[in-house]
Amino acid sequence: MPVNAAGARILVVEDEPVINQAVTDRLRGSGYEVVQAWDGPGAVEQFTETAPDLVVLDVMLPGFDGHEVCRRIQAARPVPVLMLTARDDEADILVGLGVGADDYLTKPFRMRELVARVGALLRRVERAAELATRTTTADLGDLRVDSASRRVWVADTEVHLTPTEFDLLACLAASPGVVLTRENLYAEVWGWPGASGTRTVDSHVKALRAKIGAERVRTVHGVGYALETGGAA
Ligand code: CA
């Protein structure tokens, strides 16, 4: 049974009218309130005016592209973003995840999967609250993770993470030193099972490392990741 965050408002950004309307109709049919935009500037304007809870965002758009839209809206207010990309365009996918998209779907996609991913991203808000009750403060050498306030410090300096980066770190910090598979991390943090999320996990680990120090997250090749338990040497 699909889970709808009751009353959730979704901004659908897509310049192809048929796809935009099909996505909009399907999401409305699933109980969401939907607002639409058809180009880059229109997307930023609608985002500001309607304050959506989630954005479904096509990459190729008139005006400026979906990556630029994502940069601008994430700078204004963090919000879950599901990017729509051309099939197998890995460069597009990595750029999208690098500018703050939480997940992506490649075209053509099934409407059913889109609705499921939207539901999973919206449920992450609840999951974040759940993670917060499981770990309060984790001290890992000079890395400190406070799940209640969702704040992180490295050697007494506060580090600012995106909501997704924080959830990923909190998940790793709940089991320090334990290797978590990319599939498990994706299921836990994104709330959606499946091997399709491995690139999404890799990209967010990369961003997390850049902020807290590469040596703190150990890669177990072909398996997954573990948070180092000691401080920086
Ligand atoms: Ca397009």
pTM of the model: 0.72
How confident is the model over 208-217, as a mean pLDDT? 92
Residue 231 pLDDT class (50, 70, 90 cuts): very low
SS3 148: coil
Q: Tell me, in angstroms, the distance from the centre of ligand 1 to residue 135's CA.
A: 41
Compute and round to an integer the Cα radius of gyration of the chain. Answer: 18
Answer yes or no: is pLDDT of 99 > 50: yes
- How many whole angstroms from 12 Cα to the centroid of ligand 1? 12
What is the fold of 5-130? Rossmann fold (3.40.50)
Q: Which residues pair with 104 in a beta bridge?
A: 83
Q: Which long-range contacts (CB under 8 A, 24 or more apart) does 125-131 make?
A: 125/5, 127/167, 127/188, 127/189, 127/191, 128/163, 128/166, 128/167, 128/170, 131/167, 131/170, 131/171, 131/174
**Ligand 1 geometric centre to CA of 65 (Å):** 9
Q: Determine the distance separating the centroid of ligand 1 and the alpha carbon of 74, expressed in angstroms.
A: 20
pLDDT of residue 2: 40
Contact indicator for 4, 119 with CB cutoff of 8 Å: yes
The residue extents of the domains of the chain are: 5-130, 132-227
Q: Is the pLDDT of residue 232 over 60?
A: no
Predicted confidence (pLDDT) per residue in 129-171, tens digit = 666 666 566 677 888 888 888 899 998 899 999 888 998 998 8
Looking at residue 233, its pLDDT comes to 40
pLDDT for the residue 1: 34
pLDDT at 70 over 70: yes
The lowest-confidence range among 43-47, 48-52, 85-89, 160-164 is 85-89
DSSP assignment of 19-38:
HHHHHHHHHHHTT-EEEEE-
Fold of the 132-227 domain: Arc Repressor Mutant, subunit A (1.10.10)
Examine the pLDDT at 123 and tell me if it is beyond 90. no
Compute the mean pLDDT over every residue in the chain, rounded to the nearest whole number. 86
Fold equal for 5-130 and 132-227? no
Ligand 1 center from residue 80 Cα (angstroms): 20
Query: Has residue 45 got a pLDDT over 60?
Result: yes
Give CA torsion, residues 91, 93, 96, 100, to 10 deg.
Answer: -130
Strand partners, 180: 225
Asked whether the predicted pLDDT for residue 52 surpasses 90, the reply is yes
**Mean local confidence (pLDDT), 50-62:** 95
Q: How far is the CA of 98 from the centre of ligand 1 (A)?
A: 19
Strand 151-154, strand 143-146: pairing: antiparallel
